[in-house]
Structure 1
């Protein structure tokens, strides 16, 4: 089997070299040279493309030697900057490779260049270069330059360095037809492998699902205004694509950012990064901070509409936004205790409207940590060529691919539909630029697109409640009218309320915590021999919680005889612990649940399985109505409850509950506290 694979790989290399002659490069050459020079991959492969884009070993050797020579002589290493400056001075003219950024100096009305490795500032640069390559003004680009040196004593404030020739290290032109025609020679699986190899990974070492995730990382590069986030463990290459693969994307490392830098600078009247780059990626979302109060609001507007207002002007830009970050705990525990957007900073993490603008949530935890055998040494596109193909594809839309065969189910609102369509469009551009695909091809892409948007919606439901209730995403086959549902793998097990009988004295309740969020709480009661004390732990300093628990104990001691003659009060101590299962702050609505817990412990009878107790009471035993009934019920169902004990006064609220929620739980009504105890323990 291995050999068969080996043969296929070599065949694919041959085919790729013959169909895309001069456009591909052997990826291990990049690795070979990359280790010695800290330049982005697209710079290296630009040079390799000039001198080593072939599969003839002899020419490759010569080409690599040449690239190494160019890099060793002309690439400026920061620690050798002084040496290079001196060379320019001594020889009078010298070629270098460096990253150049330009700003306008309005005092002198000239453009001035800054060199990132050479450490030179204020070097005059001709306006022609700036007009031709506007990215010089935003973040800068890697260039090959001829530098001149001329010192004039008369001109005090002028740099003796000047630029006599500048050439960006990026493909000057790209014929999209070449890709479209070339694609016809490969199967879907071969093409996926080629794309994965072009980014430097070895597809034979990865399963299909991981390959799809790697493709999705490329979607923001081919699709305008595409918003995506990927959270997962460290070391899975989340930001690699945006930093190394494309000269059209910029990685903003976590930390402070400003509206002026990102969107629009009022004083200089220039559009920020979103106007200059195809993709703005935020590395380490936990660190995103805006200096401006309205930063997140402007970002939300931009993510929703691709435009933003500053001052009197409305500006449009097509940049995609990518949010990359680390999840440090296990996904299971995140799903149980909060939501998958938790690593975002506070001011975003509770803002459902911000996350609603995400088109896809890529499950970073499914991508393995990078190991040496995941990196390929076979052929792939020169990344620069790839980047230009992506760039050209931004001008087209493939989002109508769905409509040929399918329509989307009724649980998707406008934002969901938009997200799914964009993902489909992006993946179709990557996989089928020649627009030759079958119904099955579209279905595969559609399922993948629905899953990622549903992952967003599932989290929104946790943050925002009923407003985001519809998460049962589906699509309908136009011919057979059959409806298929798409689920999210990690939503599976791991319920807060386990199945099966619990221990006597243990009871679950759901209510609004201190934070205002609705959560699940577990009360554990234990009965030991003693002198009639009631001891509570896990309560903290919350008075409402203490009072509610004391109410329950008082009612219990006063009414124990009506419940059962076998309950002993004076000779026992009752110990109680409360656990806040979702970390949202305790709820004070505990009296009925605690009463049931005390009786369950005293009678050594467990509460019915998978049951949640709702409701609260006063000292006199008056039952209070349940607030936010529909939301509370939703939380019960999400936590895994099968039965819910409900005060009779809440019957009127049932009309606020969506019907598909009602069929998931069995409601049990009680009229007074003692009735609640009997029904919870399942005794007459």
Structure 2
């Protein structure tokens, strides 16, 4: 740890030398933040004015000054009346508050509303509105001089007025300062600087977590970037978009409208996407559009950065960020559903919506915030950083890959766009001056491919074969080596374990009532009795019960032709079914249950890692497997190595991609008895 402390001191000195006046000690921010409910960028704007130095004495004086300003001028909601009274008594008074402006068309005047002061209808000069149009959407934190003049003659006039207004933002930004300054830092140092600037302490974080924290910043530097981050509570998902930039807005979960988000037809004003660099949705589970076409317009916008309202098409550059909580364990979500499950029902099975996500950030890999994760070292004043990010939106490094690599053939056009955008965003953050090596690009490219593949893996679960191509790779232009990129959570945790199961246990895959394809486990037990068949786990599912009864009737009628040792009169057959993915039971169980009954009766296990497909009538007529390629895909995803397939489905083999077929051993059967012998490995 001492080594880390030394490194931190060196980095602090370097930052103060190279970016003098642009950095601030982050513990000062958190120290004052606890006493004042203002965004970080407001605090650091003030700290940057009065305490941007590494001289302890000056820092102390600066902090006292900032505290004094906040104590005297920052409006606390509970003291609003006191401040109003002060403005009235003195005649003019400076305040810090969040100001939102609306146009009152009845009297053709712009009127300001004060968030904490609670004042409405205060006239404001059109000049401020023209210069700072964000006053009209969501509001801006400002330092204001307020005047008070009560005119008895004009009783309808608001006595409060604004004599000067200064947004709490950097007035200007010279990008060359960043380009030149970046040369003084190694890649590792620069990553630490960026992470410290967000208030986190990188020396306590794993390398992979640092990359995740950097990716949260990509929507701020990249136009029209769509990011999804779902994970546990308390990992700081919304902090970046709420506190760190005056250019992003956090829309808390709940209802929203097309007019608010995109375009208001009556006022002819563009909504949030036209006024902010990032629109972040907190708590995705609560997203609801009052308008029927809301999700469709959002999909259009996420795909093209434009949307049609009325007669014209509007374009905007805001990135969209979707943040939400995963409340169940990751393992159970991967096994029973998909990683987009927390989205509301209107979106949850909409593959077209999720296909527009450029990156899925694995929020479960970011640790919950603890005191030691917050930094006491120097970082950029967040407002300075926010302006650097904003300026970088005008540039692009989307072609950075092309000099050294090309993308594999499993990536379609949407995948390519997503990967290029992520690469461009990360290079803007890490190498803003465009000075990077082959290794630098490869590192960024691997990380970009992983996040898009995570999106694709979930699309495959929701949408089946249409999204089959998930084996993402990149090819080195010099060596022509192809490297494949995987996602960590796709490892282990298979539904069908390796090795031999117990006699009577068999797995099958079929269509649930919802149309989704699920994996089911049938467990059969044979005990002394009188020939009864008892089923559990089927509840009131009529189709499943009928399919199981069909299997038992066929079994009792044909047991002797399968084996003379099977007794159907002196044994009871107990069966339990498990719906392994929680999608609802299937009616396609007859062949699998026949195999399970024979396996239990003969005390012989079915072949290892086998899935039995198919359904039949009481007479033994075998049905074709519907959506054959999709069903095989589910078998492979569940961990099957062998699949027992009805011969009538041979014609559908041509619909199955070759790289899926090579992952399983298909075994074909011609009739129910043939299925039993082949499943039990009896030649």
TM-score normalized by the length of structure 1: 0.99
The offset of 1:297, in angstroms, is 0.3
Give the corresponding residue for 1:349.
348
Give the corresponding residue for 1:675.
674
Structure 1: distance between partners of 2:147 and 2:44: 27
Whether 1:562 aligns to 2:584 is: no
SS of structure 2 residue aligned to 1:526: strand
The offset of 1:537, in angstroms, is 1.2
Give the corresponding residue for 1:399.
398
Give the corresponding residue for 1:150.
149
Structure 1: distance between partners of 2:538 and 2:135: 59
Structure 2: distance between partners of 1:100 and 1:528: 77
Structure 2: distance between partners of 1:3 and 1:363: 31
Whether 1:593 aligns to 2:592 is: yes
The offset of 1:569, in angstroms, is 1.2
Give the corresponding residue for 1:493.
492
SS of structure 2 residue aligned to 1:250: strand
Give the corresponding residue for 2:640.
641
Whether 1:120 aligns to 2:119 is: yes
Structure 2: distance between partners of 1:580 and 1:515: 13
| Cα-to-partner distance string for 1:519-550 (whole Å, 9 max, x where unaligned) | 11111111111211111111122222111111
Structure 2: distance between partners of 1:616 and 1:418: 43
The offset of 1:307, in angstroms, is 0.4
Structure 1: distance between partners of 2:603 and 2:152: 99
Say which is worse superposed, 403-412 or 540-549, in terms of deviation: 540-549
Structure 1: distance between partners of 2:538 and 2:308: 48
The offset of 1:575, in angstroms, is 1.0
TM-score normalized by the length of structure 2: 1.00
Structure 2: distance between partners of 1:402 and 1:532: 69
SS of structure 2 residue aligned to 1:5: helix
Give the corresponding residue for 2:579.
580
The two structures, once aligned, show a CA RMSD in angstroms of 0.6
The offset of 1:202, in angstroms, is 0.2
SS of structure 2 residue aligned to 1:323: strand
Give the corresponding residue for 1:203.
202
Matches for 1:421-440 after TM superposition, within 5 Å: 421-440=420-439
Give the corresponding residue for 1:244.
243
The offset of 1:577, in angstroms, is 1.0
Whether 1:314 aligns to 2:313 is: yes
Whether 1:366 aligns to 2:365 is: yes
| Cα-to-partner distance string for 1:122-174 (whole Å, 9 max, x where unaligned) | 00000000000000000000000000000112212221100000000000100
Whether 1:106 aligns to 2:108 is: no
Matches for 1:134-213 after TM superposition, within 5 Å: 134-213=133-212
Give the corresponding residue for 2:256.
257
Say which is worse superposed, 642-651 or 564-573, in terms of deviation: 564-573
Question: 5+ unaligned residues in a row in structure 2: which ranges?
Answer: none
SS of structure 2 residue aligned to 1:172: coil
Structure 2: distance between partners of 1:533 and 1:159: 87
The offset of 1:303, in angstroms, is 0.2
Give the corresponding residue for 1:23.
22
Give the corresponding residue for 2:547.
548
Give the corresponding residue for 1:294.
293
| Cα-to-partner distance string for 1:444-503 (whole Å, 9 max, x where unaligned) | 000000000000000000000000000000000000011000000000000010101111
The offset of 1:52, in angstroms, is 0.2
Structure 1: distance between partners of 2:115 and 2:580: 51
SS of structure 1 residue aligned to 2:402: helix
Structure 1: distance between partners of 2:319 and 2:278: 5
Give the corresponding residue for 1:517.
516
The offset of 1:227, in angstroms, is 0.1
Say which is worse superposed, 557-566 or 161-170, in terms of deviation: 557-566
The offset of 1:4, in angstroms, is 2.2
Structure 1: distance between partners of 2:154 and 2:21: 48
SS of structure 2 residue aligned to 1:623: coil
Give the corresponding residue for 1:480.
479
Structure 1: distance between partners of 2:622 and 2:86: 88
Whether 1:661 aligns to 2:660 is: yes
Structure 1: distance between partners of 2:206 and 2:562: 60
Matches for 1:374-385 after TM superposition, within 5 Å: 374-385=373-384
Give the corresponding residue for 1:232.
231
SS of structure 2 residue aligned to 1:99: strand
Structure 1: distance between partners of 2:558 and 2:389: 74
| Cα-to-partner distance string for 1:150-200 (whole Å, 9 max, x where unaligned) | 011221222110000000000010000000000010000000000000000
Structure 2: distance between partners of 1:358 and 1:568: 58
Structure 2: distance between partners of 1:347 and 1:395: 34
SS of structure 2 residue aligned to 1:616: coil
SS of structure 2 residue aligned to 1:211: helix
Say which is worse superposed, 349-358 or 600-609, in terms of deviation: 600-609
Structure 2: distance between partners of 1:84 and 1:671: 87
SS of structure 2 residue aligned to 1:612: strand
Structure 2: distance between partners of 1:478 and 1:158: 71
Matches for 1:41-120 after TM superposition, within 5 Å: 41-120=40-119
Question: 5+ unaligned residues in a row in structure 1: which ranges?
Answer: none
| Cα-to-partner distance string for 1:569-627 (whole Å, 9 max, x where unaligned) | 11211111111111111111111000000111111111110000001111001111111
